[in-house]
A and B are shown apart, each in its own frame.
Chain A
Amino acid sequence: MQATLCFSSMETQIKADEHTRRRYLEQFLAQVERRALIMAEIATSSREEALDLVQDSMLAFATKYARKPQSDWTPLFYRILQNRIRDWYRRNAVRNRWKGWLGFPEDNGDPIQSAPDPHSVLPEDEIHRDESGDAIAKAVGKLPLRQQQAFLLRIWEGLDVAATAKAMGCSQGSVKTHLSRAMASLRGQLQEYR
């Protein structure tokens, strides 16, 4: 009788722990998803591609890495995302090379997909705010990928140098170098924000 009660109590505890773990995981994903999307969009210049990359990263993180300590979640998630972005760059580079060799015209994407969303019309002040965000996103998008990553993870996401290095898969010295170059380039491009 006591053993049954003990087993039942353990089962309840395990279910409660699992419920808590899922709640933390959902909170974490909800917290990083918007920034992850913007990062992927800056890197790929495509909302659709960015959504796919973020979804893939979330799936990979939730399936394989959610058991890791919560303090490691942020750099780990961004590491997965940056790997996905890098893979996308490689695939895109190969595809473009083949298209160049075979003489296909450059793919400008689906015009319906790239048409502006009529429901996203915002008041005038918000339009101005969006424009400034777009200008910065464009300037960041012009940076080499590693500089983009260093800037977005270190400055925007606010990771420390060690966590940024973990997320980028490089040394802390490389993070500092990439970030320094990124900031110099952005200061040159975005004079009005200084």
Chain B
Amino acid sequence: MKADIRVALVGNPNTGKSTLFNVLTGLNQKIGNFPGVTVEKKVGYCQLPDGRKAEVIDLPGTYSIYPKSQDESIVFSVLADSSNPHRPDLVVVILDASNLKRNLLLYSQVADLKIPVIVALNMMDMAKKADISINVDLLAERLGVPVVPISARKVNGIEQLKEAISYANKFALQEDSIDVNTIAPQLVEAIGDEMHIDNPYLALQLAHQHETLKFLTPEQSDRIEELEHQYSFNSQKAQGMETIARYAFINDLLYDTVTKPVTAHEENLSNRIDKVLTHKIFGFVIFLGILLFMFQAIFSWSAYPMSLIADGFVWVQDNLHHILPAGPLANLLIDGVIAGLSGVMVFIPQIAILFAFISILEDTGYMSRVTFMMDKLMRKVGLNGKSVVPLIGGFACAVPSIMSTRTIENWKDRMITIMVTPLVTCSARLPVYTLLIALVVPNKNIWWVFNMQGLALTGMYVFSLVSAVLVAWVFKYILKGKERGYFIMELPVYRMPRWKNVVLSMYDRSKAFVLQAGKVIIAVSVILWVLASYGPGKKFDQIDKQYAQTQYTQHMSADSLSRTIASAKLENSYAGVMGHVIEPVIKPLGFDWKIGIALITSFAAREVFVGTMATMYSVNGSAEKMQSVYEKMHQAKNPQTGQPVFTLAVAFSLMMFYAFAMQCASTMAVVYRETKNWRWPAVQFAYMTVLAYAASFVTYHLLR
């Protein structure tokens, strides 16, 4: 899509920046990455009142353009690099009207870069409620830029903001805030001359950030370093001086533009909620309660839509069998692709519910309270309060969670968090657990409210958190860190979740799951179907010949004969051969060769397990009666003993294997991208595989 003007949204975290982005662009947005870095880039399009189209970029929330984490560093590099293809024509700075002072720091920094700026004064309703009155016209006059009061949540002022964007100047007209030259006079001038920069603040920022900026050549960076030594530049001292100067400017500015009530400290609603939610005892009880409720909900609310989807697929397969002429191609489509897909599509309701909960927890501000409560505990095991967010996000998917560790400033804390996040039960394990629990745990209630299957699932989730914490504690003694960690974090006021955002996140994540998992699953099921339907040498002919003999055709019913032939063929197919090769290794865990095949395919992605099972048992089953995966596995019998394959011991042993094993190619790839070193994913893969084997072995032998 071609846009006429490029607009960047910049603002502090929790100022409603994402809400504004959603309001401006609606569903017309896409999520990608900034080139070269893994920072998530959200871009959308918006029609302006004058008919032009604006491309809107949502930059990560930050308190200043001095980055404290990787995420934040993208803000300065997008704004400052004139060769960056994402460099905006216009910056919309979103300010929280109820907390102007701190918000204006970032504004004044961005404004001094001399890019055209518009201010969107958000949360005017909140400010009014707190009796803060703002003279918007005077503020605009003092700043020299348009100031548009809006309420992104209530969709107020959005049209005016769009108008302001379309009338925006091509040139930066804002007033200077501070005299940059007083901070490092000679250095700023020298860098300006050397690099042909006429903006003193940009020159100063290059002095601060040259080491991490990708658009500087190594020679340029070295030259800046030399100049710094020449003029004995101390980055931290200079930043401190700048911050104090900026706040002096802001205090001056706010003196006659904003009036606040001079009332003494009063107990507001947010504080009263905090008294309960971060209470010494109730705080943790409520947190556990919320987690328990979340998992119960995932299990019980999804039951009905899941069975609808499953039945739908069975119906489709049934009909296709009647419509399509029988043959290998029809079999590939119905028993390979559709069987594999149905195994995974069934889990869309659970994934949508999970993401809904996570986005509600983040949106309301509760997640930062959890961070606050857990910091001390987390620090004991070598993590950081902020590790809680990736760990809880890990319930959904390790990939975005590992990316979200970028908010953890300390290197060691961040590495340990990355190493243990894949242990947390992610949504891809959910299908595996749900299926196996349904097979061996009775669907009964105990103590009236707790469903036994729900409890078993909750148990797996709690177990995964405990193991993540224990492994983190071990890594704490292995890894050596040098920088000191700190924990300076805003606790935003509680808000009602924005249901639109919640729905959008459910939709986005489910779509991503279907598209990503879908591709892998179709590929894997096709390969698997081929491997399971054809065998090496002339084995298949021999089987056909053997069962054509009269001793079989006369003494067996047609149905059981075709079953026997199919299972003999499966055992001698390529897949069967592969399964038999690894069987000796996995036999001590209680797994047979069919499960072995599922384990192999699961190394692409865990959820493939269900699809593989569906494919494996479809090949084996009769074509007339289509069944769900659950029914197929439920009826699976060990050919030697005649006992069910999936006993309590096997099912739990299998769950333990999936709990620990690193069966996810995307996670390994993202760990590599985040750490820039193959050693990390390799270590992770190794330790997780060892743990998986050990846990599985112990479980199987205890329960057998």
Partners in one complex: no
Binding site for B on A (CB under 8 A): none
